[in-house]
């Protein structure tokens, strides 16, 4: 009876807590710009047509056997092509150790455990700010965390000089966590030139780059273009780690399908690394789920479905880019004296608005608008129907 007497309720997740509060609000005006999931212009969740078609094609065809420990070979193969390129020499040379993961979160966690097992005294450098779960993931993997400068509150853009200094000042051979595109929560990505300099400096210091790519396709609308940071690092001869997720770009959130890959020196090393990743997965969840992987491999393995997917990703990205323009124009029309250029400069699902926690509280209390207290607006929750209301409320709490 006394086993769990010392258990206190856990702190609420800052992101998931927002949705709970939103659902509990009876106001007809309420707006949820906290959720990190895509919505259509009516605020409704979206299942992509390519996913529906893939489901029709696979319905009743697959057995329910376990996948191999490393997951679906076909899904992993297609997923690597998206990141490393269709004709990647690294794929050809079998230098990439890759396993299917429980979406992007699972890929990050598996890597953190792998890092801890083979570099037990290493640290991970994490950008400020970052997706809050990164901190939880490396904490639970018992890896010491350090931070590096990323966002500049004054410019609401990249703090490039401070970022470069932090890379230079970190002990040689440190691990660096980088968002490959559409940085969460800021929407601020380095330019191509800046990526080249970051790559150069990380190489010069012998650091290990680990990329979290949760939004490939969501930034520009084109998965190829969104892979440019990875391609720059590959060209520069880095060894790297990479987490990929189909939650956002295929809308497969609840299917938990993704991939962890580690680029190795040669095929022999890749075989060893893959076997160790599988060894880490075995006592955690044994092997990954079948259905989502089958949806992905069906889409990417079929030229027609892949084309449809690319069109649908572009459509999602375009709607978000359109809402950025609309939100900024509405604020400017209302005569806001503040600069809202960052709304359209930032990229991907989120806008780091610069709203203070107190202003966010007022938006919630007075206007039933829900978002995390760091001022992160999920542009996916903005629609033609609510953008005027949102702009007006922001104008009221910032004037």
Choose between 170 and 247: whose C-beta lies nearer to ligand PMP: 247
Q: Phi, psi at residue 58, to the nearest 5°?
A: -95, -10
Query: Cβ of residue 389: shortest distance to ligand PMP, in angstroms?
Result: 26
CA distance 382 to 351: 11
Give the other-Cβ count within 10 Å of 161's Cβ.
Answer: 10
Which candidate, 198, 175, 174, 163, places its Cα nearest to that of 112?
Answer: 175
Least separation, in Å, of the C-beta of 279 and ligand PMP? 22
Residue number, 264 or 300, with CB nearest to ligand PMP: 300
Residue 71 vs 395, nearer CB to ligand PMP: 71
**Three-class secondary structure of residue 211 per DSSP:** strand
Range list of H helices, the chain: 16-24, 49-58, 73-84, 89-92, 103-118, 132-140, 160-169, 192-204, 223-226, 228-235, 267-281, 291-300, 303-333, 341-345, 357-367, 387-398
Longest dimension (CA), the chain: 63
Point out the catalytic residue in the list 116, 131, 228, 309: 131
Nearest to 260 by CA among 75, 100, 94: 100
Q: Which of 113, 159, 212, 226 is catalytic?
A: 212
Beta carbon of residue 366, minimum distance to ligand PMP (angstroms, whole number): 28
Is position 248 annotated as part of the catalytic site? yes
Please report, as ranges, the residues that interact with ligand PMP according to CB under 6 A: 36, 103-105, 131, 179, 184, 212, 214, 245, 247, 253, 258
Question: What is the DSSP secondary-structure string of 185-196?
Answer: TT-----HHHHH
| 131 assigned to active site | yes
Work out how close the CB of 244 gets to ligand PMP at its nearest, in angstroms, rounded to a whole number: 9
Distance CA 126, CA 175 (A): 9
Single out the catalytic residue among 116, 228, 248, 274: 248
Nearer to ligand PMP, 46 or 397 (CB): 46
- Shortest Cβ 180–ligand PMP spacing (Å): 9
Nearer to ligand PMP, 227 or 394 (CB): 227
Task: Confirm whether 228 is a catalytic residue.
Answer: no
**Are the C-beta atoms of residues 287 and 67 closer than 8 Å to each other?**
yes
Q: Which two tokens stand for residue 127?
A: 């950008």
Active site residues: 131, 212, 248
């Amino acid at each position: 009876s006394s086993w769990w007497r010392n258990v206190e309720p856990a702190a609420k997740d800052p992101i998931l807590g927002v949705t709970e509060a939103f659902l509990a609000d009876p106001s007809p005006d309420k707006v949820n710009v906290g959720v990190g999931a895509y919505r259509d212009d009516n605020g409704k969740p979206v299942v992509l047509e390519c996913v529906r078609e893939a489901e029709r094609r696979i319905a009743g065809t697959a057995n329910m056997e376990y996948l191999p420990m490393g997951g679906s070979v076909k899904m992993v193969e297609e997923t690597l092509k998206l990141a490393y390129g269709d004709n990647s020499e690294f794929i050809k040379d079998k230098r990439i150790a890759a396993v299917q993961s429980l979406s992007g979160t699972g890929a990050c966690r598996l890597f953190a455990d792998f890092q801890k097992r083979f570099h037990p005294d290493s640290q991970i450098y994490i950008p400020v700010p970052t997706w809050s779960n990164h901190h939880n993931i490396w904490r639970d993997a018992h890896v010491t965390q350090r931070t590096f400068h990323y966002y500049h509150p004054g410019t609401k853009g990249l703090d490039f000089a401070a970022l470069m200094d932090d890379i230079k000042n970190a002990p040689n051979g440190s691990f660096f966590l980088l968002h490959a595109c559409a940085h969460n929560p800021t929407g601020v990505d380095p330019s191509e030139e800046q990526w080249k300099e970051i790559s150069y400096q990380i190489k010069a210091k012998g650091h290990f780059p680990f990329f979290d790519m949760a939004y490939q396709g969501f930034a520009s609308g084109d998965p190829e273009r969104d892979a440019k940071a990875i391609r720059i690092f590959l060209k520069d001869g880095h060894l790297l780690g990479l987490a990929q997720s189909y939650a956002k770009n295929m809308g497969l959130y609840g299917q938990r399908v993704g991939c962890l890959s580690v680029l190795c020196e040669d095929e022999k090393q890749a075989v060893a690394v893959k076997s160790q990743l599988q060894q880490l997965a075995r006592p955690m969840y044994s092997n990954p789920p079948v259905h989502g992987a089958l949806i992905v491999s069906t889409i990417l393995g079929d030229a027609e479905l892949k084309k449809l997917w690319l069109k649908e990703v572009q459509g999602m990205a375009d709607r978000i880019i359109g809402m950025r323009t609309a939100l900024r124009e509405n604020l400017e029309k209302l005569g806001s004296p503040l600069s809202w250029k960052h709304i359209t400069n930032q990229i991907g699902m989120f806008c780091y608005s610069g709203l203070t926690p107190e202003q966010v509280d007022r938006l919630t209390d007075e206007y039933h608008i829900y978002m995390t207290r760091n001022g992160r607006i999920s542009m996916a929750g903005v629609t033609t129907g609510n953008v005027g209301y949102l702009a007006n409320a922001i104008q009221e709490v910032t004037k």
